[in-house]
Chain A
Amino acid sequence: MIMNSESHTKLIQLKELWKTYFTGDIPLHALRGINLSIDKGEFIAIMGVSGSGKSTLMNILGCLDKSSKGQYLFMDIDTTFQSNMELAWLRRKNFGFVFQSYNLLSRTTAYENVELPLLYASKYKKNKRKEIVLNALDKVGLRDKIKSLPNQLSGGQQQRVAIARAIINNPFVIFADEPTGNLDTRTSFEIMSIFQKLNEQGTTIILVTHENDIADFTKRKIVFRDGKIISDVENMNQRNAEEEYKKLPVEEEPA
């Protein structure tokens, strides 16, 4: 998926994108003609109430779902007519996913969870894989937990394993669907500081949230309502998650 594109090529372009579900008698329009373009290196918060279409948009952007109408160009590739196989290849090379409920494989160690995308996407030998996996776990500060199973880790630790898994193939974009939804403030800030660092290193991050505090750590806020974008503004005063984290009062350990 190496592109011979100029630097000003848009990473993602949506043109009049519709998504309609035909579940009952009345067709449900989850997205109503979305136009959106996203550049490399952006850090975007997609906000909105439940049912506003933000998750649907995420699924389509992540090529987990297809639009009903309109165009989705990823690095100038029109994904509309790609086969499921081509979309799977596109996903494994370019995208990383982080979910609200972590979605780690149960009864599988942190190491194995992080290694999994490598097994699908690469032909690296065991030693090379180990080096990459440990490097990714280093970035999220969990090198000492490689042998732990998901149920032995806290929510924040599980989410950090999920982030390590998402970055293992050096994706262009990380899609994070309410990554802090199940976490307390301290841990949320920790996770956001990891995202900010990844973004500084050039990874595009698209994050769905309905918490304004979390959106404040991003660079651009897009608000959805009823399948349409109602506001799309640059966040002029992005907060620094690491600094905020340090400002939080240290919790007393119960004796």
Chain B
Amino acid sequence: MSDVLLRVRDLRVHFFTDEGIVKAVDGVDLDIERGKTLCLVGESGCGKSVACRSFLNIVQPPGRIVSGEMLFYGGADREPVDLAKLDAKGRQIRQIRGKEISMIFQEPMTSLSPMYTVGNQIMENILLHTGTSKEDAREKAIDLLGQVGIPKPDRLIDEYPFRLSGGMRQRAMIAMALSCHPNLLVADEPTTALDVTTQAQILDLMLELQHNYGMALLFITHDLGVVAEIADDVAVMYLGKIVERATARVIFNEPQHPYTRSLLRSIPKIAMKREELDPIKGMVPSPFRRPEGCTFHPRCPNVMDVCRHVVPSVTQLDDTHTVQCLLYEPEPVEQARS
């Protein structure tokens, strides 16, 4: 048995809106291993952001974790805590947030408050979770800012975020997230809003820090290039479900799910000669009108009749590789259900 840090089983997060229920996360299974990097990949609107927020139990109304369990083996005794069962406003989950599990967001421009200095916002986290004095917290914050590659950290600590560039802010965010040595860092598209050079720098920094701190990294992205660079394991998400899960090597070399294949095919390659791009046909369906059966069937190149009304279940291909597609389900199961 591998060293699992967070085990998610059948997680469902639904949004109860006036127009109807949006099943943003609809039965997700995930394992995040200690010290490893898991990339969660999918198109916009597939529920990956909601999923990662639910790991911290900070999904806001009208959204709600409806069912499932999220076992977190973070404490010193490695006794599992079910994050889904904790009161979202309670003390227990708040001691995990920012200390055991930290999060970095997509928008470095707006994720830091312009009203307080960078130092204030980093120190807040340290003071909240450790019993150190203000002076020590400040020392620590300066040290962290140095670690994330901010020049003259002792001066920048008193700067307001709106005076920093996007890349600098994201570095400050990382410093804040790391301030209590979390076991798990959740990063929700942390490089999407940055320009390409900065993106590469931030990625390198995150990998380096992950190595130094020995923490697990859950990296949410829609950029398969990034995935190839950093991932140990990959989970592909489509309309609230994990459709395929495997090691990065397997995902890139032997993808099984038609959606994963389409995703990989749609990336332009430098080696490619002036061919047309091969996008996935169709659009992501409206969240209020999910297709019946396999939700991918209207866009699937390998669609079968049975896909239109039978919901696929998870098929274990080998120890580390699962796929949720009727193509791989053994015949009897299919007949039993249809």
Whether chain B is bound by chain A comes out as: no
Residues of A within 8 A of B (CB): none
Residues of B within 8 A of A (CB): none
